[in-house]
Amino acid sequence: MRTSMAMVAATLALLPFAAQAHSPGEHASVQVAQAQTAAPPAAAAAGGAWFPSKYGPNDTIGAMNLLTPQKVLEAVKLVTQGRVYALGVPVGRDTPAYPPRFATVTVMMPDQFAGSIVPSENKVSYADDMFTGWLGVGSQLDSFAHLGIDNTFYNGNKAADFMHTTGVTKLGIEAIPPMVSRGVLVDMARARNKPVLEEGEIITADDLRKAMQEQGVEVRQGDVFLIHTGWVTMLERDPARFGKGEPGIDVGAAEFLAGLGVVAVGADTWGVEAVPFKNPNRVWEGHQVLLAKNGIHILEVMDTRALARDQAKEFLFVLGQPRLKGAVQAIINPIAIR
């Protein structure tokens, strides 16, 4: 039964968005340019064996192994202005999400009916809140337990061995180390000279290489790679359109990014990949390449507007996700600092 429920949940997670799920560059060094235009040597092959992981048969943190103290010190040196950017969006009852996902907050004042207070000389009043919903709503982090290939997840872990309705016993959100690293932003909207890319508009590996060269974006091992498409503006302008499709990368771009040795790939869209899919019979292949084959986390609905407006191409990226035991996703608010 546990396996059946996991399969049902996985199927639901791959459904397209509903309009509303609930009422309620040029300056880069020659060496870097050559590295970024070469074939991705570190990425898992598109076909054939993709496990055990290059980090060992028992590894559970994937590319996060690259986040060494030296990498953190490198990233901290990027802070020269003291500017802080919140990359998460507010999440509420009306945030578009995959059906049947939703998120609600209910506020209560326990045992304080009709204006009564907590028995005390200092007349204490307090409120508590209860969260009801799914953890894959709004700005979110995907763990390696979120998506796999034929019920096999990162490093060959079989769903039947660790996937339970009460929570996963491996690859859960709580076991992901803090993500403190150098972040980079590639502005694909600026690269295509338009404020917002269209739904279904594909970003290929060649597109990324060109934009990186033009914008002087140098990617180093262990970086967090963010893509700005302008799509996040639809959350406010047209929520229904936001949820029906999105611009994004294709599988070749995912393989290219994996080859660069990044620890996470994110975008200002709800799924990072282009939807509608170019081939409707092949869905979420980018997720499979990043999460399952290469142990690279995915960051969705990142609010990259301010970073793009300031043409920030590198920054300190900080994420300490809620350590929800057994969860496969988490609502997050990463911080970029320059």
Other Cβ atoms less than 10 A from the Cβ of 54: the count is 14
User: 188 to each of 87, 249, 304, how far by Cα in Å?
Assistant: 17, 11, 11
Rg of the chain taking only CA atoms, in angstroms: 21
Per-residue pLDDT of the chain (338 residues; tens, 9 = 90+): 333 333 334 443 444 444 343 333 333 332 333 333 333 344 554 446 999 999 999 999 999 999 999 999 999 999 999 999 999 999 999 998 878 999 999 999 998 988 898 999 999 999 999 999 999 999 999 999 999 999 999 999 999 999 999 999 999 999 999 999 999 999 999 999 999 999 999 999 999 999 999 999 999 999 999 999 999 999 999 999 999 999 999 999 999 999 999 999 999 999 999 999 999 999 999 999 999 999 999 999 999 999 999 999 999 999 999 999 999 999 999 999 99
**What distance in Å separates the CA atoms of residue 329 and residue 71, rounded to the nearest whole number?**
25
Cα 293 from Cα 61, distance rounded (Å): 12
pTM: 0.86
| DSSP letter string, 281-311 | TS-SHHHIIIIIIT--EEEES---HHHHHTT
Q: What is the number of alpha carbons within 13 Å of residue 253 lying toward its C-beta? A: 27
CATH code of the domain occupying 29-91+139-337: 3.50.30.50
Collapsing DSSP to helix, strand or coil, 172 comes out as coil
Q: How many Å apart are CA 136 and CA 138, to the nearest integer?
A: 7
CA distance 49 to 45: 8
